[in-house]
Structure 1
Amino acid sequence: KEQGLTVLAVCVTYEVSKCFGRSRNIKKSSLLCLLLIIFGSILVILRLSIMGGKHQLPVFTKFDNPASFEPYPTRQLTYNFLLPLNALLLLFPYNLCCDWTMRSIGLIHDIDDPRNVWTLVFYATLIALVIRSLVDLFRYRSNRLLIILSLIVFPFIPASNLFFPVGFVIAERTLYIPSTGFSLLVAIGWTAIENRFPNRPKLKECLLIMFCVTIGLFCLKTQIRNNDWKDELSLFSSAIKVNPNNAKLYNNVGHHYERHKEFDRALQYFQKASELQSDDLGSHINIARTLINLGQHSKAEQMLWKLKPKVKLSAINNRIIPNYLNLWINLANIIVKNETRLPEAENLYKELIGMRSDFVEAYINLGDILIRQSKLTEAVDIYRRGLSLAQIDRRADLYFNLGVVHSMLLRASS
């Protein structure tokens, strides 16, 4: 993962700082830095090759990271405001959430937004720490603070949005490695406070008690947070309390109830999600699918026909989101209940294949419809095309269907 690669930058920082430290070995440090850079470059190339392929790359939308789709200065102001928010999660991890996408964090449109003050405070603190680390390195030959800052900064860079946009607003998992550096920074601060009052034992004792209480509260918070992760329903329900404007969380709760066949409750959450984020087509598709499960096929079909041109336009303007393709499948599943509308369903699947030629499920379903229309030769061609694209776990269905069609062709010819 990207965070793992950035640890190599921490190692390079350590080796470079040793050249200015008490035990200098410039030749050895230079060699190690060169090896780390070469090794890191190889890992980056391998990582990029793994991510290669048109349909292998993740698809990000404005709902994943709204600021990425905003113009200047909204994008830059919001991106920079996310830095103090991440720092706050390290300093005071009270409001924790499994998902910070969509409208979890309001966009900053103007320079006079009061939240920009926190951005300035963050950069002022960071600059002060960097200056102090360089002073320690050159004056006192101590690289301790510099290494700690590198542990905080470098692993966070891939998630910072500052160099390239990512598919999330805030992700607490990206603070895992930076939290080690932050913990060490707290330890340095505590040591500095202790050393500042060497002759005041009562004050030091009071500070120690306060520090222990803080650690105890953090342990208690950890236990409470563990209960939130008991199952997906408790996790997403707790997240809604933190980010009530995040439509994705309501969709996730809806999916939970949908999997447990509680379609009425699922519909309520999907509708709430569509109210919060009316331009999110996924929420409307979820509503239509739930209406199908509730037996309200006519209402679902009307909704899907209205959504279809919007989804297709979205696919033309952006890369198609795989889950959106289910609209064609859901619509076709309603239509095939009426034998006279089979050609209509056939055209839907052909349209779907035209949009995503490697969608194997579309080939399987299209072949079934062709069989029902006695277009056996065409069904064989469709199944074979699907077979050439299918992963191993889907080939069994296609082989079985091909066997069925060939047996029907044999009976027809005899």
Structure 2
Amino acid sequence: MVAVISIGGVAIFVKGNLFFFIDRYNYRPFSISERLLTEPRIILGYLSQLFYPLSDRFSITHDVEISKNLFQPWMTLPSILAVFTIIVIGFFQFTKRPLLALSILFYFLNHIIESTFIPLELVFEHRNYLPSMFLFMPVAWGVNEALKRFKGRNCFVYQMIIFTASLVIIWFGINTYSRNNVWKTELSLWYDALKKAPNDARPATNVAIALAWKDNPTLRDYDVAMALFEKTLLMNKARKNLDSDIYGNIAFIYFQRNQFEKSIEFYKKALDIDPDFIKGRFDMVKPLIMLGRWEEASKEMDLLLNNRKGYLKSDYLNVKGLILLWQNRPDEALHYLRQALHKSPWDSSVYLNIGRALSMTGHYKNAEWFLSRLGRKEPANMFTTFCLIENGVKSGNMTVAEKYAEEMLGNNSIVSINTMLKVLPVFYQTVPVSADIIKPVIMKKIRELLGKDDKQQ
């Protein structure tokens, strides 16, 4: 009954396609037959690590040569025969030596899912944890039996067994300590993997990410990361379309270095490989915005918003609204921004964008409600105050506009305010604000402030 229910549940989950997993091989660099031929070599590799656990033999990732047929590489057929022989021994020892049979059959039974026909990646050492649970029980039993046999009979052999067993345990401990040092930091772990699997893209990619995404990366960090990403394009990868991720990472570095045209170029390469690379498409919108290429940015956001394969995030709606504000289409912007507010009711950038959109559509009181609420939360945010000043001027309430200008001077330096006023027309990271409208109000309050200081002196 349990089996019937289980099979029925699986059938419903996969919508009747019980061989759905075959389709996943389209994304792998190997076929189902190549995987089945390769896994016996990997299983023997797992066993060798357990019985000869030298720390240098362990890695979070491995280079694996895929078996193309029974003789390429030459270890393919011997490995298949060895695995088959060990399993047969396990079955034949079921009655005579049940402990040995348990350790063998339990080991291989627990490797069935991850080491047979399901299109997972070929090798991961953690897959060996559970299968090895009973593997050393026959060894422990054998050592214990030898100790009982030679105790009181042959003192030398008895002492040698104890000495050898102790030496093995100490050796295991030293190798464990050595391996723990490799796991000390994320970077040390991936550097170790990079040395042991120089043809695998994963460690090189993760070293590059650790360098480029860390706090305050240097230009040299970016250069090294870029070189590693470019190198990974020629390496072995777990999935066929991983080049799109790599191009996306390269594009990110160009973006961080303010090379926006190059960033867009590499994001487009990523999307040529994988048009459903949702993160890459969203990230490409950022350099488009920085260059003021509003039509292109808007089209890319439309593709994201209409893509039902991805979750409709508030960020998408918010950015689409921002783009429409710069295109002077505030009514359309509000349509998206209200949805963004519903999904992220505490997002400061959504409040700012909605406040600006309301001001641009003439809803000055509602605009001030959103902007002033944000201003109390972030009093040093100049853009919020800029919007409040412009909203006051456009609503005809100069007293309110001057009040906000005075508050801004109390929270920010005159130098920083003047610097921001100069770049306002092309400061595309946030909402559009008219420097021509707000500058006279701010300059008036600056002159008043300086006049007061002169009188005090």
Same topology, TM > 0.5: yes
- Asked if 1 retains the 8 angstrom alpha-carbon contact of 2:244 and 2:269, the reply is no
Q: Residue 430 of structure 2 corresponds to which residue in structure 1? A: none
Q: Which amino acid aligns with 1:326?
A: K
Q: What's the RMSD between the two structures over aligned residues?
A: 3.7
The secondary structure found in structure 2 opposite 1:133 is coil
- In the alignment, structure 1 residue 156 sits paired with structure 2 residue 111: yes
**Do the aligned residues in 1 keep the contact of 2:260 with 2:288 (CA within 8 Å)?**
no
Q: Indicate which of 354, 361, 365 corresponds to 2:306.
A: 354
Residue 212 of structure 1 deviates from its aligned partner by 2.0
Q: Residue deviations 1:218-267, cap 9 Å, x none?
A: 10010011111111000111111221111111110111111231322221
Matches of 2:199 and 2:213 in 1, distance apart? 24
- Listed one character per residue, the Cα deviations across residues 123-164 of structure 1 (whole Å, up to 9, x for unaligned) are 21232123112334xxxxxx434443454344433322x252
SS in 1 for 2:168: helix
Contact 1:325 1:352 in 2 (8 A): yes
Note the alpha carbon deviations across 1:62-102, whole angstroms, 9 max, x for none.
799643xx153x232013332212222222233111234xx
Q: Distance in 2 between matches of 1:247 and 1:365?
A: 33
Match of 2:380 in 1: none
The correspondence of residues 140-289 of structure 1 with structure 2, limited to 5 A, is 143-149=98-104, 151-160=106-115, 162-166=116-120, 168-191=121-144, 200-260=154-214, 261=217, 262-277=221-236, 280-289=243-252
Change (3 A) 1:119 1:205: farther
Counterparts of 1:267 and 1:218 in 2: how far apart (Å)?
39
Q: Does structure 2 retain, via aligned residues, the 8 Å contact 1:83–1:119?
A: no
Distance 2:125 2:345 in 1: 34
Structure-2 change in CA distance of 1:299 and 1:163 (3 Å): closer
Unpaired segments ≥5 residues, structure 1: 1-33, 53-59, 137-142, 316-323
CA contact (8 A) 2:32 2:119 kept: no
Partner of 1:15: none
The yes-or-no answer on 1:85 pairing with 2:39 is no
Pair 1:219–1:382, CA change in 2 (3 A)? same
Aligned position for 2:448: none
> 1:295-319 CA distances to partner (integer Å, 9 max, x unpaired)?
332323223333322221xx4xxxx
Structure 1 residue 192: Cα displacement: 5.5
Q: 1:376 to 1:84 in 2, by over 3 A?
A: same
Which residue of the partner structure matches residue 130 of structure 1?
91
Q: Is the 8 A contact 1:263 1:293 kept in 2?
A: no
Q: Which residue of 261, 281, 289 corresponds with 1:328? A: 281
Contact 1:65 1:169 in 2 (8 A): no
Residue 372 (structure 1) shift: 1.3
> 2:40–2:80: 8 Å Cα contact kept in structure 1?
yes
Counterpart of 1:179, as a letter, is S
Q: Compute the displacement of 1:211 (Å).
A: 2.5
Answer whether contact 1:151 1:177 (CA < 8 A) is retained: no
The one-letter code of the counterpart of 1:273 is T
The CA distance in 1 between the partners of 2:137 and 2:271, in whole Å, is 54
Query: Contact conserved, 1:84 with 1:119, CA < 8 A, in 2?
Result: no
Q: Which moved more, 1:78-87 or 1:234-243?
A: 78-87
Counterpart contact for 1:376–1:405, Cα < 8 Å? yes
Structure 1 residue identity aligned to 2:89: A
Change over 3 Å in CA distance of 1:191–1:66 after alignment to 2? farther
Rate the CA distance shift 1:336–1:91 in 2: closer, same or farther, 3 A: same
The answer as to whether partners of 1:86 and 1:170 remain within 8 angstroms in 2 is no
Q: Is the 8 A contact 2:90 2:105 kept in 1?
A: no
CA distance in 2, matches of 1:347, 1:248: 33
| Matched residues, number | 342
Which structure is higher in RCO with an 8 Å CA cutoff and minimum separation 6? 1
Q: Are 2:207 and 2:225, in contact at CA under 8 Å, matched by a contact in 1?
A: yes
Identity of aligned residues (%): 20
**TM (normalized to structure 1)?**
0.71
Considering only CA atoms, is the larger Rg found in Structure 1 or Structure 2? Answer: 2
The aligned counterpart of 2:419 is: none
Residue 99 of structure 2 aligns with an amino acid whose one-letter code is R
> Gaps (5+ residues) in structure 2?
16-22, 366-394, 396-457
Q: How far is the alpha carbon of 1:277 from its aligned partner?
A: 4.6
For residues 279 and 254 of structure 2, the distance between their equivalents in structure 1, rounded to whole angstroms, comes to: 14
C-alpha distance in 2 between matches for 1:387 and 1:357: 19
User: 1:309 corresponds to which residue?
Assistant: 272
Query: Which deviates more, 112-121 or 221-230?
Result: 112-121
- In structure 2, what is the equivalent of residue 99 of structure 1? 61
- For the pair 1:295 / 2:258, whether they are aligned, the reply is yes
Distance 1:264 1:124, change over 3 A: same
Q: Evaluate the alpha carbon distance shift between residue 89 and residue 300 of structure 1 in structure 2; reply closer, same or farther with a 3 A threshold.
A: same
Deviations 1:173-220 (A, max 9, x none): 222222321222321343455578785543343343223222111100
Q: Which amino acid aligns with 1:148?
A: S
